Amino acid sequence: MTRGRRWRVVVFTIAAIYFLVPLISAGEFSLRKPAGGYGFANYLALGTDPVLLGSLLVSLQIAVLTAVLVLVLVIPTAVWVRLRFPSVAALLETATILPIVVPPVVMAAGIAFVQANLDAEPFRSLFASSTTALTPFYVVLALPFAYRAVDNGLAAIPLRTLVEAARNLGAGLPSALLRVVLPAIRSAVLGSAFLTLALVLGEVVIARILLYTDTFPVVVIDVGRSAAGVSVALTLASLVLTWVLLLLVSYVGGRTTRRTDA
């Protein structure tokens, strides 16, 4: 047993060094002042720079819309597959791998072609602003992990029993979904919403190629050309914030499960 414990210690030590050193270094770098010494000036730039603040609002708006669309697409589909159509589960799992491996730059190339060459109505309003243009495609990028997270959540609850009980009590399928299934998988739902936030706060490729330069990650990179410290500070802050949110969700979710077990 001691041998078994020893290899774990080695693995965790290497992982801790590899994963923590860059984060700690980034933290140190972000606190440096140009004149020497340390301070929070780089973080405070977010409050004083109207361009940065505006871009954060744009990205948060995109994130909320993306998360809602993703959940509306994913939850009914995942429930439907588990209840009525288990034979396609493997196929759908494969379909959700696609957006991981299809390069965003290739997607962007196709979208840019439409943007440049088709000027008819549905396209004109689609490309009107960064929110309308980017949200539909961020939904595609967010689908793989959202589907996985929601499906894992569904696997952990007695889905068929819950839905049948709700329907025996007279609920229609939509209200069973909304009032019974959704609360039961709320931590998976919140988890995928926050991962969507992570994606939107990190995506630069499509935004940059389609020339929507007013989203947070694009502005942060541009700021980095003149003030690297600000870029490092703000990306680190968004990374840590998302991770803390996810950690909170996992604790809240874990606690409720234990309470229902008792």
Partner 1 sequence: MTSLLEAPPAPTESVARPARPWRAALGLLPFALYLLVFLGGPLYFVISGALSDRSGAPTFDNIIASVTEPQYRLAFASSLAISAVTALVGAVFGVFLAQAVLTSRPTSPLRRIVSTASGVLAYFGGVPLAFAFIGALGQTGLATLFLKGVGIDLYGLGFRIDSLTGLGLTYVYFQIPLMVILITPALEGLLPQWREAAENLGASAWAYWRHIALPVLAPALGGATLVLFGNAFAAYATALALTSGQIPLVTNSIASALSGNVLADQQNVGLALGFDMVVVIGVVMVGYLILQRRASRWRAR
Q: For residues 6-65, which are near partner 1 according to CB under 8 A? A: 7-8, 11-12, 14-15, 18-19, 21-30
Q: If you search the block for the tokens 């609920």, which residue do you land on?
A: 171
Nearest to 200 by CA among 257, 123, 254, 134: 134
Give residues 214-233 in contact with partner 1 (rule: CB under 8 A): 217, 220-221, 224-225, 228, 231-232
Among 52, 62, 223, 236, binds partner 1 (CB under 8 A): 236
- Report, in Å, the least distance between residue 53 CB and partner 1: 19
Tell me whether residue 54 or residue 160 sits nearer to partner 1 (CB atom).
Answer: 160
Measure the CA–CA gap between 30 and 42, rounded to whole angstroms.
6
Tell me whether residue 64 or residue 98 sits nearer to partner 1 (CB atom).
Answer: 98
Tell me whether residue 57 or residue 248 sits nearer to partner 1 (CB atom).
Answer: 248
Tell me whether residue 44 or residue 72 sits nearer to partner 1 (CB atom).
Answer: 72
Please give the size of the binding site for partner 1, defined by CB under 8 A: 98
Tell me whether residue 44 or residue 247 sits nearer to partner 1 (CB atom).
Answer: 247
Among 51, 114, 128, 178, binds partner 1 (CB under 8 A): 114
Measure the CA–CA gap between 20 and 229, rounded to whole angstroms.
19
Give residues 166-225 in contact with partner 1 (rule: CB under 8 A): 167-170, 191, 195, 198-199, 201-205, 208-209, 217, 220-221, 224-225
Give the list of residues 6+ apart from residue 219 with CB closer than 8 angstroms, or none: 51, 52, 55, 213
Among 57, 98, 178, 252, binds partner 1 (CB under 8 A): 98
> The tokens of 87 are what?
């034979």
Nearest to 100 by CA among 148, 69, 144: 144
Sign of CA dihedral 130, 133, 135, 137: negative
Dihedral angle, C-alpha 71, 76, 81, 82, nearest 10 °: 90
